[in-house]
Amino acid sequence: MSRRIPNQFHFVFGLRRQWRPFHLTHYLCLESCLQVNKPERVYFHYHHKPWGRYWRLIRDKLTLVKVDLVPLVSRQRYAERLINLFRYAHHADFIRLEKLVEHGGVYADMDTLFVNPFPPRLFEQPFVIGKEDDVYDPRTNSSRPSLCNALMMAEPGTEFGRIWQSRMAEAFDGTWSNHSCFLPQGISEESPDLLHVEPRRSFYKHMCNPEGLKTLFEECDPDFNNVYSLHMWSHLWASRWRRDFSGFHMGKLTEQFIREVDTTYNIAARRFLP
């Protein structure tokens, strides 16, 4: 098979005002992408432009694209206050899929660290998305299968992506996962020939639970065989005020900490430090 997915990457950031400087982890996401995947182009889609030392170090390596917020998401009245705090993530859900359908390539969240190059077989697929553990659905009060949209690969004009796009607004109900993870899971069951689903290990070896976060940031798992990227689930722990998933927080992730302490994330990220 020939390559269907172009080796270009899309990132979405700055969908709320940037009160703090661009963080080291975001720099490492982009720098690891450049070094590991050697993309032809990296599109950085933003609404509010980042600032700070780490932004200055990386910005000239990117293709900057200003984007608008999504009116449907801006109008949404969230039933849960906690989800409302992360409204920017729902804007990004719509923007990332739009850019993938339009241009093709690879999309990844900014709390990603790239570890090993994607194998050529993935670029031969029409659409690639990764499996995650079952996710709780508040509408049914039970957990159900889910595909995670934090990393996706697509050919331009992807049929799977266009079907997903056509149903996304109707599925958007203010819950965290209905439009973004449960919907693609359902479409994949209807039309399995339109996509390829990677096992959880490829993109999400350490899941979004206390055990997974502890392994990423406090313990050391050096086994990166068949691991192409690490996802950090940063909305669950980045703030020093959030402690329900982890006592770790973004303020602890400094260059010195990454250089001197052997944790799963640190040993993978160390080679990309400025």
pLDDT digits (tens, 9 = 90+) for 124-173: 999 999 999 999 998 899 999 999 999 999 999 999 999 999 999 999 99
CATH assignment at residue 184: 3.90.550
247 occurs within a structural domain: no
261 occurs within a structural domain: no
CA 99 to chain centre: 14
117 occurs within a structural domain: yes
Tell me what pLDDT residue 203 has: 98
253 occurs within a structural domain: no
Q: By 3-state DSSP, what share of the chain in percent is helix, strand and coil, each rounded to 5?
A: 45, 20, 40
Reference 165, options 102, 97, 107; nearest CA is 97
Alpha-carbon distances of 164 from 70, 73, 94, 178, 249, rounded to whole Å: 16, 17, 10, 12, 34
Residue 272 near residue 47 (C-beta atoms within 8 A): no
131 occurs within a structural domain: yes
Reference 152, options 216, 193, 98; nearest CA is 98
Backbone angles phi, psi at 2, to 5 degrees: -95, 165
Share of the chain above pLDDT 90, in %: 92
Mean pLDDT lowest among 51-55, 141-145, 254-258: 141-145
Residue 205 near residue 113 (C-beta atoms within 8 A): no
**What average pLDDT does range 43-68 have in this prediction?**
98
272 occurs within a structural domain: no
Q: Does residue 1 have a pLDDT over 80?
A: no
pLDDT per position as a tens digit, 182-213: 999 999 999 999 999 999 999 999 999 999 99
Alpha-carbon distances of 228 from 51, 151, 153, 163, 173, rounded to whole Å: 28, 11, 13, 27, 32
Domain coverage including residue 34: 8-207+228-241
Tell me what pLDDT residue 125 has: 98
Total count of domains within the chain: 1
32 occurs within a structural domain: yes
2 occurs within a structural domain: no
Q: Does residue 24 have a pLDDT over 80?
A: yes
Q: Which two tokens stand for residue 164?
A: 């997903």
CB neighbour class for 23 (10 Å; exposed up to 12, middle 13-18, buried from 19)? buried
Q: How far apart are CA 46 and CA 38, in angstroms?
A: 22
**What average pLDDT does range 64-91 have in this prediction?**
94
Q: Does residue 83 have a pLDDT over 70?
A: yes
The model scores a pTM over 0.85: yes
